[in-house]
Copies of this chain bind each other. A is one copy, B any other.
Amino acid sequence: MKIRSVKELRAQVSAWRSEGLTVALVPTMGALHAGHLSLVEDGFRRADRVVASIFVNPTQFGPGEDFDRYPRQEQNDAALLDSVGCSGLYLPSVAEMYAPGFCTAVTVEGLSQVLCGVSRPTHFSGVSTVVTKLLLQALPDVALFGEKDYQQLAIIKRTVRDLDIPVQIVGVPTLREADGLAMSSRNRYLSPDDRRIAPLLFQVLSEVGTAFLSGQNADALCADAAARLIPGGFSSVDYVAIRDAETLDKVDRWSGNPVRILGAARLGTTRLIDNVGIPVDQTNL
């Protein structure tokens, strides 16, 4: 079932609620892959109905980023969602999301300025604002986001907690290709040569995690890791970092508190991000 307006969305959610059913929301930008479908499947373990949204949000792309070429494939996405029994597909237009005169922003200080926020200074405010809107449009019981975008997940959890948005946020572990590359809609930008290089990011982050657990210093490990990515074929490295899993504050040495090893690097014009949790079985915030 395709839904294109806030009014229809609210009517559908209200109809389900009046039957006593619970509702999960899976916000996406489309170009769906198995990782997205795992969010929908996880949604069905937590709620009776799952709505996926597809909205390529212009306000979270900076100047010169890939908003125009970001893949749009509504028919294919709809078929994929049908294949996992998704209850509804919400496809708002830019005009439906941003009415004339729109001028409000939700920002999360600190968390939004580090890591990816350094090279993408307006990105996370765009994310916090659009996710706040989607959550308040749908008012689901639970909303699911991939751990692949780990900083985004941390910022969304903080937004929901700080603004008292009445929803539970769930992070879902990253799905990977057989060689370890995190699934991402942007992987399709990679040339065959770059695709062969790409899994090195996950491999390096995993090795940093193991070395950190053995007691090594974070700064030295991260510097070494970044230095390995360039001879491995990456064009440039935005960061490799070891951070507290919840606050994303810097961590020097393993103390037993959950941390996240995060990296962002470029292969040609494509920017890849990935992250791994330490300890591995407690990666969810």
Binding site for B on A (CB under 8 A): 6, 10, 99, 101-111, 128-129, 132-133, 136-137, 139, 158-159, 161-166, 247
Contact = CB atoms under 8 A, between A and B. Distances in A.
Contacts of A110: 103
A239 to B, nearest CB: 21
Nearest to A111: B103
Contact of A104 (B101, B102, B162, B166): B162
Given A137-B164, A164-B136, A109 B99 contact: no
A164 B128 contact: no
A84 B18 CA distance: 34
A161 B99 contact: yes
Would you call the interface of chain A mostly helix, strand, loop, or mixed?
A: mixed
B6 A162 contact: no
A160 to B, nearest CB: 9
B108 A107 contact: no
A163 B106 contact: yes
30 contacts: A6-B164, A10-B166, A99-B161, A101-B158, A102-B162, A103-B108, A103-B109, A103-B110, A103-B111, A103-B162, A104-B106, A104-B107, A104-B108, A104-B109, A104-B128, A104-B158, A104-B159, A105-B107, A105-B109, A106-B106, A107-B107, A132-B163, A133-B162, A133-B163, A133-B164, A136-B136, A136-B163, A136-B165, A136-B166, A137-B164
Nearest to A246: B101
Contacts of A137: 164
Nearest to A98: B162
Nearest to A108: B104
A228 to B, nearest CB: 34
Given A103-B111, A103-B158, A136-B166, 11 more contacts: A6-B164, A103-B108, A103-B110, A104-B107, A104-B109, A104-B158, A106-B163, A133-B163, A136-B164, A136-B165, A139-B166
Nearest to A125: B107
Most interface-central of A99, A105, A110, A128 (chain B CB within 10 A)? A105
Contacts of A105: 106-107, 109
Contacts of A99: 161-162
Contacts of A104: 106-109, 128, 158-159, 162-163
A136 to B, nearest CB: 4
A3 to B, nearest CB: 14
A64 B104 CA distance: 27
A90 to B, nearest CB: 13
Contacts of A106: 104-106, 163
